[in-house]
Amino acid sequence: MAQILIEKGYDVFGMVRGQANPKIRMIQEETPKLELVEGDLQDLSSLIAAVEQVQPDEVYNLGAISFVALSFRQAELTADITGLGVLRMLEAVRIVGGAENRIRFYQASSSEMFGKVRETPQTEMTPFHPRSPYGAAKVFGHYITVNYRESYDLFATSGICFNHESPRRGLEFVTRKVTNGVARIKLGLQEKITLGNLDAARDWGFAGDFCEAMWLMLQQDTPEDFVIATGETHTIGELLALAFAAAGIDDWKPLVESDPRFTRPAEVDILTGDASKARAKLGWKPKVDFPELVRMMVASDLEIEAGDPSRRP
Ligand code: GDP
């Protein structure tokens, strides 16, 4: 997101939390123009101070505990950061933005809110049925954003984003776990990939495309909520087949196993988004398709894993 905004000519500030945050070095190397400001989604006064210091025109709240599996183990922390964190950020934006509501706000909502889906494909009108503490916290974040828009006339929008991936995705997520595992198998650094539920299916898109939609949402005349998705659903089997093919490995089935350690107490089986509203009102559509996304991630992981071991994730 920062990279895209910098390319558009924005002065961009990224909020970082805590002391000696290990991600700071990586962020500074990848986006040297990004300025960092201190703040914590658990601490309202630190958010007010950060927003006061920066005096932004636009705030994109992409901050969260974002890993569904972890949210089952740290449910209260997830509710606090992923859920209440949105309320605190909205308060900071409302207080610092003054009576004329100078600051526009984007909330990163999630297809995990649809959970045990009530209809397919999912639109802005589909009822929510979250299946994890993460999904439940995101539902709160979504509705409190809608509520601040309706109560205080804030320019506050919620983008209901389906899974969006890139070479920067964390290794704990299934796409990156697969592309990194395939690269390591190819290079003789690993023997197998051990996954959880192999039957899940997702609407996976490229994060860069999705960030463009987030930006477009804040450039409209009126704040509205949008589903951001590719509209295509793929299985973990397809992800595996494409990733192994990208590394030139044919006989991959014996290289993948399933372990209940990686299954979840409740699962989201399948997601398919309908982004017709975003297409019609924002003129948005994704540019990178699923096979290209998987190839991009495998190529990046092959480069990382073949390089300096100290730079490996
Ligand atoms: P999510 O959609 O935000 O939960 O994104 P993930 O990438 O974490 O998971 C996507 C789907 O892949 C879920 O249905 C997981 O249960 C499934 N999955 C299967 N094996 C694994 C695994 O080893 N790790 C992860 N993260 N997900 C897995």
Q: Active-site residue 134, yes or no? A: yes
Give me the pLDDT at residue 62, please.
98
Whether the pLDDT of residue 173 is over 90: the answer is yes
Length, in residues, of the chain: 313
Return the pLDDT at 20.
81
Q: Which band of pLDDT confidence, cut at 50, 70 and 90, is reported for residue 130?
A: very high
Query: What predicted TM-score, i.e. pTM, was given to this entire model?
Result: 0.95
pLDDT score of 309 more than 80: no
Selection from 53, 66, 45 nearest residue 13 by Cα: 53
The mean pLDDT value for 253-257 works out to 97
Rounded Cα distance between 230 and 297, Å, is 18
> What's the whole-number mean pLDDT along residues 283-304?
98
Which residue has a Cα nearest atom 16 of ligand 1? Answer: 197
Residue 22 has pLDDT above 90, yes or no: no
Catalytic annotation present for 166: no
Q: Which of 134, 166, 212, 305 is catalytic?
A: 134
Q: pLDDT at position 310, please?
A: 72
Q: Whose CA is nearest to atom 6 of ligand 1?
A: 173
Which residue ranges have their beta carbon within 6 Å of ligand 1?
68, 112, 163, 172-175, 177, 195-197, 200, 202, 236, 262, 264, 267-268
pLDDT tens, residue by residue, 90-100: 999 999 999 99
Task: Give pLDDT tens digits for 54-92.
Answer: 999 999 999 999 999 999 999 999 999 999 999 999 999
Q: From ligand 1's centre to the CA of 174, what distance in Å?
A: 5
Whole-number Å distance, alpha carbon 268 to ligand 1 midpoint, is 9
Of 65, 168, 172, 174, the one to substitute when testing ligand 1's pocket (max ligand atoms within 8 A of C-beta) is 174
Burial classification of residue 198, based on how many CB atoms lie within 10 Å of its CB (0-12 exposed, 13-18 middle, 19 or more buried): middle
